[in-house]
Structure 1
């Protein structure tokens, strides 16, 4: 079964369930790492995600996947939270985390740097806009960014 298909099936199964529990799906991946396959689902909610939340989603998803059986090979199921240095994947993440400090890792250098940290201004015309102390306001096309993530700030 194709990777995309498994991801779509999981999202279709889980979306209504997590909504009824005031959670959202941040990401679904079906990946091969070494000899193993992983079905990795990242969930989030307003309050911090608990182990109980992960167990609840895992139990439900396992039951549903057993019924539908969309995955032919063996795999490990992981339900996780995005963590404090969460990756920004969806366009809505750039709206949700405006004003927070983020780090961009780039495919190629930009003004001599492969990683740039700054305060997120937003996503404008598919460009990530940040305010950086040294460089001021920077706009970098999303296509040039290999990773965008929140940065933990210590007071």
Structure 2
């Protein structure tokens, strides 16, 4: 069975693409019986408020029918911004050489939070240079990652 986040991704991606926008990713934040669904969209020329409104209207209509989230939720649509979150390995590849921060699901070297330069992207993960030492992180072990501006 797919998790709610994966279902949301599958529903939102085609909607955003149909509006000639890039689906950057989404975050699902649960707080008790309430949820926040944050959708990130982008396009080469940059997005504006009307792009966010169009996506919000379309996604809301689909969510009203499909009900991918149990209970009440708030829907946010925005640009990924300067300190954009990174969801897919292809996104990491675009930022090799840049500084990123990430949180892993299980401690590595006794910690869960890391900040370093993205050295390269492999088939299943990424490599960061932190204080002159290279660390490997499997994509499946990354809880959250974003650029540092």
Between the two proteins, the alignment pairs up a number of residues equal to 147
Q: CA deviation at 1:146?
A: 4.4
Unaligned runs of 5+ in 2: none
2:141 aligned with 1:151, yes or no? no
* Partner of residue 94, structure 1: 92
Aligned partners of 1:11, 1:24: CA distance in 2, in Å? 13
Q: CA deviation at 1:59?
A: 0.7
Superimposed CA distance per residue, residues 90-149 of structure 1 (whole angstroms, 9 cap, x where no aligned partner): 111111212222224455364x876543332222243422345x415x132236654432
Q: CA deviation at 1:69?
A: 4.1
- Is residue 15–residue 59 contact of structure 2 (8 Å, CA) maintained in 1? no
Q: CA deviation at 1:12?
A: 3.7
What secondary structure sits across from 1:61 in the alignment? helix
Check 1:100–1:43 CA distance in 2 against 1; reply closer, same or farther (3 A cut).
same
Unaligned runs of 5+ in 1: none
- Is residue 101–residue 116 contact of structure 2 (8 Å, CA) maintained in 1? yes
Match of 1:80 among 72, 78, 85: 78
Aligned partners of 2:144, 2:70: CA distance in 1, in Å? 31
Q: Which has the larger radius of gyration?
A: 1
Cα RMSD for the two superposed structures: 3.1
Aligned partners of 2:97, 2:108: CA distance in 1, in Å? 24
* Partner of residue 27, structure 1: 25
Tell me the TM-score normalised to structure 2 length: 0.73
* Partner of residue 121, structure 1: 119
Tell me the TM-score normalised to structure 1 length: 0.71
Matched ranges for 1:45-64 at <5 A: 45-64=43-62
